[in-house]
């Protein structure tokens, strides 16, 4: 394993550092400069703009902190209380907070003196010559107006903040109060992130407000010509020096095709630290949780690793796995959760707790995070990074890995790949991030493949059942599980490397098993999926309750309301059917009446044709039976019609009612 390269002692700088600044550097354990520091500091301390690209963990932060402080110290006149001398802008509040802590460490070590700035009224009081830096980030405890008040009370020369808060400070609440006329230094840290992810308009307004006579530095671990150099005009750099610090390693090359010859070496460029071992492991989607668990066990037992970061695709996944991992992890681990949807104070508290923790291999400390913890954060004691889900933005891959193997320390990074995702290895290789395959982990050792390639690991069912046991303790965790699963599927479908990460190739049933879902959620992506290998958990959903009493009460009320609504709908349906039935009966009666009218009309026409020209004598009247036999009557139908006419006359006179009439003739067809 290659050692981290160094570029000489701090004393070798042509412009010597201020003694108390050098003391702080050495107290931090940096006896020698790294290549990026040796290349950047001399230029930035003078009058040169710089564009710096170096692998994560190479010491970029000190490469701009030190020259910024030195430039302020070497000024002929100190800044007035309303003036700022340096502005550092970073994309996230976590990174801004970390940079602020480093500046604070340096400035708190400066010697005190008796005196003051020209606008101070008590020159006899001892104070710091250079006031502490001011941090501008979103917080429930600090508003933009409060930022201006803190600036007025401290007279800070150095401002560190995120783009939105800096803009409000300079062009909003602080406009007319904060002067930038004497600004010496502007630093854009993680410049590609600032330029790529929606901060262009904000940066343009800030840069337009700043004086052109300044030194500007752009720093990042991933900055290509396409996404950074084309924006330099916007950033206001003038003839900048481009500093690129590469990592190179020797790679064995077999020079004899038949395998009998010797071996040579080629130089391979890398965009990850030299002391970082980068592994990938292939498994089924249903086996990811099993394999992650075994990686942790392997790292603890073989390397005595005690501090881990595990990256997930979405905030919902972090929240969910934070709840279920304690039931399946092999050790008594302390978990920390960090993602962008947490309140700022919670994020700061979590990061502080994780970085200051004192874990042991028997009780490791594990940070579950999204890409909000991928860039710039200096967490020097992280032993292992595990990417449970590869990042949607491929540029974040190296930043994630770079949270370990920092400042000369060694570290290991793992990524779990499923099926077609193995093509991601070649994709990363093109980006100069080599990955080495490690075999599938069995229960107790490395093996080349699972014992039976045609079937999934038998521990999948065990892990799924363990997770389900946790879910059954609280319906709220079940809701989180469904939300996490849906968010993961949505994120996967929007992966930037979509020709590799294709949703149609992903085993969603396997993913659901890995999540330990009780049942599959209703979503379009699962509509036509083969559910042969899936079985819902046996759950009585009517009694499955929330642990939170208020939430459970709300559920019970909602279900009762839903049941009542269902009953009302059923009742309304019965009434509707009854009404429809009554209408049908009325229509049938009308049809019968029409038929009777037709019969009466037909009888009248027939009778007219049968009336004799000479009336028969009264004594010669034939009987009814005789008339029928002679064809002078049409049978019982005519009798019925005659009887109906008589009854109709009685109904008209009121001798009988409609009900009696309908009972007699309502069923005639």
Q: What pLDDT, on the 0 to 100 scale, is given for residue 586?
A: 64
pLDDT surpassing 90 at residue 571? no
Q: What pLDDT, on the 0 to 100 scale, is given for residue 647?
A: 80
Q: What pLDDT, on the 0 to 100 scale, is given for residue 534?
A: 95
Secondary structure (DSSP) of 589-614 = HHHHHHHHHHHHHHHHHHHHHH--SS
Which position has the higher pLDDT, 356 or 594?
A: 356
Question: What average pLDDT does this structure show over 309-322?
Answer: 98
Is the Cβ–Cβ distance between 184 and 71 less than 8 Å? Answer: yes
pLDDT level of residue 631 (50, 70, 90 thresholds): very low
Secondary structure (DSSP) of 445-485 = SB-SS-SSTTS--THHHHHHHHHHHHHTT-HHHHHHHHHHH
**Which secondary-structure segment (H or E) carries 559?**
helix 549-610
pLDDT tens string 223-243? 655 555 566 556 678 888 889
User: In 254-383, which residue ranges form alpha helices assigned H by DSSP?
Assistant: 288-303, 315-324, 344-355
> Any idea what DSSP says for residue 240?
P
Compute how many other C-beta atoms are within 10 angstroms of the C-beta atom of residue 458. Answer: 12
Q: Which two tokens stand for residue 624?
A: 């009814």
- How open is the CA angle 48-51-54, to the nearest 5 degrees? 130
Q: What pLDDT, on the 0 to 100 scale, is given for residue 624?
A: 46
Q: What pLDDT, on the 0 to 100 scale, is given for residue 257?
A: 46
Compute how many other C-beta atoms are within 10 angstroms of the C-beta atom of residue 291. Answer: 22
pLDDT level of residue 182 (50, 70, 90 thresholds): very high
Question: What average pLDDT does this structure show over 249-269?
Answer: 53
With CA atoms as reference, report the closest residue to 63 among 240, 187, 215. 187
Mean pLDDT, the chain, as a whole number?
84
Secondary structure (DSSP) of 40-81 = HHHHHHTT--EEEEE-TTSSHHHHHHHHHHHHHHT-SSPPPT
Q: What pLDDT, on the 0 to 100 scale, is given for residue 178?
A: 95
Q: What pLDDT, on the 0 to 100 scale, is given for residue 229?
A: 57
Is the Cβ–Cβ distance between 615 and 636 less than 8 Å? Answer: no
Which of 166-170, 248-252, 498-502 shows the lowest mean pLDDT across its residues?
A: 248-252
Question: What average pLDDT does this structure show over 254-283?
Answer: 69
Secondary structure (DSSP) of 521-551 = ---GGGTT---TT-------TTT---SSHHH
Q: Which domains does the chain have, with CATH numbers?
A: 10-245 (3.40.50.300), 268-526 (3.40.50.300), 595-606+624-669 (no CATH)
Give the whole-angstrom CA distance, residue 38 versus residue 614. Answer: 142
pLDDT surpassing 80 at residue 248? no
Question: What average pLDDT does this structure show over 114-129?
Answer: 51
Question: What average pLDDT does this structure show over 262-269?
Answer: 57
Which of 114-118, 274-278, 306-310, 326-330 shows the lowest mean pLDDT across its residues?
A: 114-118
Q: What pLDDT, on the 0 to 100 scale, is given for residue 226?
A: 53
Q: What pLDDT, on the 0 to 100 scale, is given for residue 253?
A: 52
**Which secondary-structure segment (H or E) carries 561?**
helix 549-610
Q: What pLDDT, on the 0 to 100 scale, is given for residue 261?
A: 46
Alpha-carbon distances, residue 623 vs 613, 614, 628, 643, 655 (angstroms): 19, 18, 9, 17, 29
232 φψ region: left (φ > 0), alpha (ψ -120 to 50), beta (else): alpha
With CA atoms as reference, report the closest residue to 243 among 226, 227, 220. 220
Question: What average pLDDT does this structure show over 509-537?
Answer: 94
pLDDT level of residue 13 (50, 70, 90 thresholds): very high
Q: What pLDDT, on the 0 to 100 scale, is given for residue 2?
A: 42
The radius of gyration of the chain from alpha carbons, rounded to an integer in Å, stands at 42
pLDDT tens string 454-482? 688 999 999 999 999 999 999 999 999 99
Alpha-carbon distances, residue 15 vs 10, 82, 187, 364 (angstroms): 10, 30, 21, 44
pLDDT level of residue 507 (50, 70, 90 thresholds): very high
Question: What average pLDDT does this structure show over 482-502?
Answer: 96
pLDDT surpassing 70 at residue 256? no
pLDDT surpassing 50 at residue 546? yes
Which position has the higher pLDDT, 581 or 97?
A: 97
Q: Which burial class, exposed, middle or buried, applies to 200 when counting CB atoms under 10 A from its CB (0-12, 13-18, 19+)? A: middle
**Which secondary-structure segment (H or E) carries 102?**
helix 93-107
pLDDT surpassing 50 at residue 309? yes
Give the whole-angstrom CA distance, residue 156 versus residue 132. Answer: 6
pLDDT surpassing 80 at residue 369? yes
User: In 304-343, which residue ranges form alpha helices assigned H by DSSP?
Assistant: 315-324
pLDDT tens string 29-78? 888 999 999 999 999 988 899 999 988 888 899 999 999 999 999 998 99
Strands (E), 305-396: 307-311, 334-338, 365-369, 384-387
**Which secondary-structure segment (H or E) carries 624?**
helix 624-629
Question: What average pLDDT does this structure show over 562-590?
Answer: 70
Q: What pLDDT, on the 0 to 100 scale, is given for residue 184?
A: 95
Residue percentage of the chain with pLDDT more than 70: 82
List CB contacts of 191: < 8 A, sequence separation 6 or more: 51, 218, 219, 220, 223, 228, 235
With CA atoms as reference, report the closest residue to 106 among 80, 72, 138. 72
């Amino acid at each position: 394993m290659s050692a981290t390269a160094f570029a000489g002692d701090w004393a070798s700088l042509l412009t010597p550092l201020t003694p108390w600044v050098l003391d702080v550097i050495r107290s931090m354990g940096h006896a020698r400069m790294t290549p990026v520091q040796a290349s950047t500091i001399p230029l930035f301390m003078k009058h040169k703009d710089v564009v710096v690209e170096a692998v994560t963990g190479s010491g970029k932060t000190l490469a701009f902190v030190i020259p910024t402080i030195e430039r302020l110290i070497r000024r002929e006149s100190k800044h007035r209380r309303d003036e700022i001398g340096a502005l550092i802008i970073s994309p996230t509040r976590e990174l801004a907070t970390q940079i602020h802590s480093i500046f604070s460490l340096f400035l708190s070590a400066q010697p005190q003196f008796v005196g003051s700035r020209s606008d101070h009224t008590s020159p006899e009081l001892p104070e710091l010559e250079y006031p502490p830096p001011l941090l501008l980030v979103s917080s429930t405890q600090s508003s933009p107006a409060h930022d201006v008040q803190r600036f007025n009370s401290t007279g800070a020369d150095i401002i560190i903040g995120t783009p939105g808060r800096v803009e409000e400070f300079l062009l909003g609440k602080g406009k007319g109060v904060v002067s930038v006329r004497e600004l010496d230094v502007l630093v854009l840290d993680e410049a590609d992130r600032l330029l790529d992810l929606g901060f262009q308009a904000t940066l343009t307004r800030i840069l337009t407000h700043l004086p052109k006579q300044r030194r500007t530095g752009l720093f990042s671990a991933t900055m290509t010509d396409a996404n950074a150099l084309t924006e330099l005009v916007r950033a206001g750099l003038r003839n900048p020096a481009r500093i690129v610090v590469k990592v190179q390693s020797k790679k064995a090359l077999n020079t004899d095709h038949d395998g009998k010859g010797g071996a040579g070496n080629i130089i391979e460029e890398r965009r990850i630290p030299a002391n970082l071992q980068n592994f990938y492991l292939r498994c089924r989607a249903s086996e990811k949780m099993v394999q992650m668990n075994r990686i942790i066990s392997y790292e603890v037992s073989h390397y005595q690793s005690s501090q881990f970061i595990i990256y997930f695709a979405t905030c919902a996944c972090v929240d969910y796995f934070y709840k279920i991992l304690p039931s399946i992890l092999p050790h008594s681990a302390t978990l920390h959760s960090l993602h962008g949807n947490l309140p700022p104070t919670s994020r700061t508290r979590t990061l502080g707790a994780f970085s200051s923790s004192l874990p042991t291999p028997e009780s490791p400390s594990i940070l579950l995070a999204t890409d909000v913890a991928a860039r710039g954060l200096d967490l020097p004691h992280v032993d292992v990074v595990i990417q449970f889900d590869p990042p949607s933005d491929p540029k974040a891959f190296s930043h994630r890995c770079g949270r370990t193997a920092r400042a000369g320390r060694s570290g290991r990074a793992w990524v779990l790949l499923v099926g077609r995702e193995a093509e991601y290895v070649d994709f990363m290789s093109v980006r100069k991030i080599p990955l080495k395959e490690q075999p599938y982990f069995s229960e107790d050792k490395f093996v080349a493949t699972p014992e039976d390639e045609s079937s999934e690991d038998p521990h999948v069912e065990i892990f799924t059942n363990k997770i389900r046991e946790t879910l059954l303790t609280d319906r709220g965790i079940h809701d989180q599980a469904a939300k996490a699963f849906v968010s993961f599927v949505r994120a996967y479908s929007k992966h930037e490397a979509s020709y590799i990460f294709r949703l149609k190739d992903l085993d969603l049933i396997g993913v659901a098993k890995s999540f330990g879902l009780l049942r599959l959620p209703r979503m379009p992506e699962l509509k036509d999926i083969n559910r042969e290998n899936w079985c819902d958990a046996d759950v009585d959903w009517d009694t499955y309750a929330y642990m939170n009493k208020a939430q459970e009460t709300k559920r019970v009320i909602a279900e009762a309301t839903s049941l009542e609504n269902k009953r009302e709908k059923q009742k309304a349906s019965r009434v509707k059917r009854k009404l429809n039935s009554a209408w049908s009966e009325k229509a049938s009666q009308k049809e019968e009446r029409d038929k009777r009218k037709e019969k009466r009309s037909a009888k009248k026409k027939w009778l007219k044709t049968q009336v004799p020209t000479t009336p028969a004598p009264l004594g010669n009247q034939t009987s009814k039976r005789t008339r029928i036999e002679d064809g002078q009557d049409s049978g019982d139908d005519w009798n019925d019609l005659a009887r109906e006419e008589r009854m109709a006359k009685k109904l008209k006179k009121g001798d009988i009612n409609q009900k009696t009439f309908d009972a007699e003739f309502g069923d005639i067809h």
